[in-house]
Every structure is written in C-alpha cells, then in structure tokens.
Structure 1
C-alpha cells in the first residue's frame, strides 16, 4: 500500500553532504510507490522557534509552517536524515521538528544518520530517538547509519556501495511495516 513519508533533512550548511542521503532515500521510497516529499530547512527558512504552529491563530501561521502542517497531517511516517554535530542533533533539525507536535502523533519515524567519518552519525541518533518519541513519532528499532557518506552516495543521490542498498531495503521494509500497522490503528481511533 502506498505511503506518504516526508524525508526531513537536518542540515542547512552550504557544503552539506546529507542532501545526498536525502535524495537517495527519497528515490528509494518513490521506487516503492510511496510519496516522499523532501523537507529541507535550507529551502524552508523557518524562523527560530518562537511559537509552535498550533499557537498561531487559525490562518496566520507563516506559509511554510502551514504547508508543512498540511503535509504532516496526511503523512503515514517520517524519515529523518541527521548529521551529528558535537555528538548531538543539528540545530536546524531540532528547529524544524519543534514547530509541530500533534501533527506527528501516532506515526512512526525512522532515523538515517550520517557522517563524513567512520561512525555514521550514530551519536546523534540516540538523543534524536528520545526527541522523536517525545514528539509523538517514536522511531523504529533499526537505524540506517551511513559512514563516509561522501564516498557512499553520489551528489545526485545514487548509491556507490552495494551494502547501502541492502541495508536500505531492510530499513524501509521495517518502516513500511510500522507505518501500515499504525495507519490501521489510527483509522480505528487513537487514545486522544
């Protein structure tokens, strides 16, 4: 069954390599027949969090927030692509996520973490798991860490290393399973 899975990128740096992973994952999701819009904070240029989307009077939220709220409400899952900044979550990602809350509820998330070095951003994934759970979109058990991203995915988003496609298949299979299960449960109602 087709899913809507926004791919939320976490970096706004001018020389960011994470865009490669976001392009790769978007293409992988679309090849499965899913809708996978890229949520890029560099393009959105969201303000630093002053008010959450829900705190704006109806119809007065900035246009990018309104557009994201509409996308998130019709989404089945979220795929977060995160770098590791000082062993933590990039500020642009935190800011992008923190504008919303109820829009995430009862939907799974998945974490793809990356780095230019050998650890693949996994130290950022752990605090990100806690954050995503608190936002109402707990992450699936598996991670997709990508070490040395610049050597594994082309600038256009094509995999160079065969292991990546194998790992990505399992990762996306797991995300789809959780998304299908939670969509079915949401249709029957939620606790609140």
Structure 2
C-alpha cells in the first residue's frame, strides 16, 4: 500500500515561484510509488486563525478545514515547502498549519525550502524544525534548499541549470530519509498505540 504524503505549500504571492518546487516534489514522490498530494494554502483558503479545528463542535468546522483535517489524519508523513520572508516563515503556511494540532501527531515531516537568493530559504527551513517538533512530528534531518528558484526549476517544474542539477542530486536522499522514518513510525503505530 503506498504511503500518503501531503505536500504543503504556503505562498500567497502573485508571482510565486515556490509552487514549482512543490509540484516537483509531488511528481517525484508519485514516481517513487507514493500517493502524494499538493495542499496549497492559498487554494484551501483558511481564514487567519481564530479557532483551531478541535475547537469547533463536531460538524461545525468550515468544510475546507474539516476536509483538510481528514487528510492530515490519514497521512503517513508530511512535506512542507517553504519560502523565506525576512529570515522567517511564510505566514500563509504557518497559518494553515496552526489550525490543527493533534492531527499532526506521531508522523514524520520533511522540510524543503527555496528563495530567490543563494541561501535557498535555509533560515526558514531551520525555523520550521522546532515548530514541527512542537506540533508532534518527527522532523527528519535531511532537507532540501533550492536557491535561485526561478533559475533552478522552469514553469513546468522541471529542473534546469546548476540549481536543478543540485536538486536532482539531493532529492533521493531526502526522499529515502523520509521513507525510512515513515516505515518506522507506521510500524510502531501498528505495534503500540501512541500514549496520547
């Protein structure tokens, strides 16, 4: 049975380039046999956080929020694709993730970041580690950082130039690391129920 891995993306910008990286990752996971799905925060359209999903009475949460809660609960692992805004996280992605908590627990997460510059969103990538751990996920050590995003992936999410070559070299280890942790956490959940 294939692993279900949602790939979360959070930019709301008009000329967003990171969507290319999110689409690349989804296609690569699917080629490996995983069931991967792009979750675009802009398309989901959750409001700024007022109430978390768990704070609604059963059946009262907005439909998009309830549907996404089901996908998060069903997931075997998660990938977050993040840009870097002023050394920090994208607000759209952070807002989407903050609507949920227990739904994330006991699964691994991986982080891929990008930027227009040469650092590839490394500071946002690093900032997400502590946040995802607090949200109950095991964050794998392998990460992807893609600098000069507009020159590393074309409009069809195909790798180009030196940045694209680096991405193609780095992705297999990133995916293998996530697959190992996905198998480990699935096996443990089958063997023993989480303590909370």
Q: Bin the TM-score by the shorter chain.
A: over 0.9
**Structure 1 residue 181 corresponds to structure 2 residue 180:** no
Greater than 4 Å deviation, 4+ residue runs: none
Report what 1:93 is aligned to.
93
Deviation at 1:168, TM superposition (A): 0.4
Deviations 1:74-116 (A, max 9, x none): 1000000000001000110110100001111000100001001
SS in 2 for 1:141: strand
Give the superposition deviation at 1:42.
Answer: 1.1
Q: 1:171 aligns with which of 164, 171, 174?
A: 174
Which gives a bigger RCO, structure 1 or 2 (Cα 8 Å, sep 6+)? 1
Is the Cα–Cα contact under 8 Å of residues 153 and 159 in structure 1 kept in the other structure?
yes
The DSSP-based 3-state class of the residue aligned with 2:4 is coil
Secondary structure of 1:6 counterpart: strand
Query: Does the Cα contact within 8 Å between 1:26 and 1:36 map onto a contact in 2?
Result: yes
Residues 129, 138 of structure 1: 8 Å contact kept: no
Superposed counterparts of 1:25-64, under 5 Å: 25-64=25-64
User: Paired residues, what number?
Assistant: 192
1:191 equivalent in alignment to 2:166: no
TM-score (norm 1): 0.97
Q: Give me the whole-angstrom Cα distance separating, in 1, the residues matched to 2:33 and 2:64.
A: 26
Residue 12 (str. 1) matches residue 12 (str. 2): yes
Q: CA deviation at 1:27?
A: 0.1
Structure 2 unaligned segments of length 5 or more: list them.
none
Work out the CA distance in 2 between the residues paired with 1:38 and 1:183. 22
Tell me, what secondary structure is at the counterpart of 1:37?
Answer: strand
